[in-house]
Amino acid sequence: MSEQKNSTPSLPVLLGVMGDPIAHSKSPAMHNAALQAAGANGIYMPLHVRPEQLESAIRGIVALGYRGVNVTIPHKEQVMQYLDVIDESARLIGAVNTIVNEEGKLIGYNTDGIGYVRSLKEEAVPELAGKRIVVLGAGGAARGVIYALALEKPERISILNRTADRAVALASDLRAHGLGDITGGGMEEAAAVLASADIVINTTAAGMHPHVDDVPVDPALIRAGAAVSDLIYNPLETRLLREAKQRGCIVHGGLGMFIYQGAVAFEHWLGIPAPVETMRRAVLDSF
């Protein structure tokens, strides 16, 4: 009688993104293309999770054997209370967008800021050390971006926000963590602050579809030759970037941040380099 070999097929790597709503997300198209390009047996699924279902959904990561998930609006802050470990940068930022399941222990990371800085350096400004940076907006997106920028040792970071108190509070909080010369103020200071800026970054929703004619600040205040970056990726080129380009500025759109935050998450889950160009093509094709 011939001996029969026992062979257990390897289970697919289960990944997904939790949000409410979630049908619009480009993450499944991007990550499934990445999995295929990397030769990984896996699937990445959109997971519609309402706020009242969040705790049960997080427990389900372990119960169902997910390797990890991304977390998007409106769960990035609330999810932190259900995790076992929170990465230092995610704790300081106050939000988690990536969860890794390490044998039942759920670890929370924030890849938004580091993904943004990787994109900015790859696509527009290779060296950030010593630069004078102006960040427009003081919300959650700004916090993650500023944290990651500060690690690059710029000369200073100035935060401008419609509500000056919010910018001042954010700057004070980040300075308290030893992150360098960070100041906050109102948009009425824009002319003076932008005149000497090397890099201007929009983290507000001004210019996002469908309000494509909005700008966060008058582009004429930005000096020619500065780099202008916008976190918005729909449209791919905002009015701010279009007018900055006409002024001779280097421009950088938000698509790269979305791709690179996904790439960093992919590397956390699979432990291999992410196929960034495949991910970029997949997102562009999904529009």
- Is 76 marked active-site? yes
Report whether 254 belongs to an annotated binding site. Answer: yes
Closest to 218 (Cα-Cα) out of 207, 210, 209, 208 = 207
Report whether 256 belongs to an annotated binding site. Answer: no
Dump the DSSP string for 116-172: HHHHHHHHT-S--TT-EEEEE--SHHHHHHHHHHHTT--SEEEEEESSHHHHHHHHH
Choice among 76, 105, 131, 153 that is catalytic: 76
Tally the residues of the chain. Answer: 287
3-state secondary structure at position 96: coil
Strands 105-109 and 68-71, by their bridges, are unpaired
Report whether 281 belongs to an annotated binding site. Answer: no
Report whether 164 belongs to an annotated binding site. Answer: yes
Report whether 97 belongs to an annotated binding site. Answer: yes
Cβ pair 34, 266 in contact under 8 A = yes
Report whether 10 belongs to an annotated binding site. Answer: no
Report whether 6 belongs to an annotated binding site. Answer: no
Report whether 147 belongs to an annotated binding site. Answer: no
Which residues have a Cβ under 8 Å from the Cβ of 201 and sit 6 or more positions away?
A: 133, 134, 135, 136, 145, 228, 229, 230, 231
Report whether 138 belongs to an annotated binding site. Answer: yes
Report whether 166 belongs to an annotated binding site. Answer: yes
Phi, psi angles (nearest 5°) of residue 58: -65, -40
Cβ pair 149, 257 in contact under 8 A = no
Report whether 8 belongs to an annotated binding site. Answer: no
User: Which residues are known binding-site members for shikimate?
Assistant: 25-27, 72, 97, 112, 233, 261
- State the catalytic residues: 76
User: Which residues are known binding-site members for NADP(+)?
Assistant: 88, 137-141, 161-166, 231, 254
User: Which residues are known binding-site members?
Assistant: 25-27, 72, 88, 97, 112, 137-141, 161-166, 231, 233, 254, 261
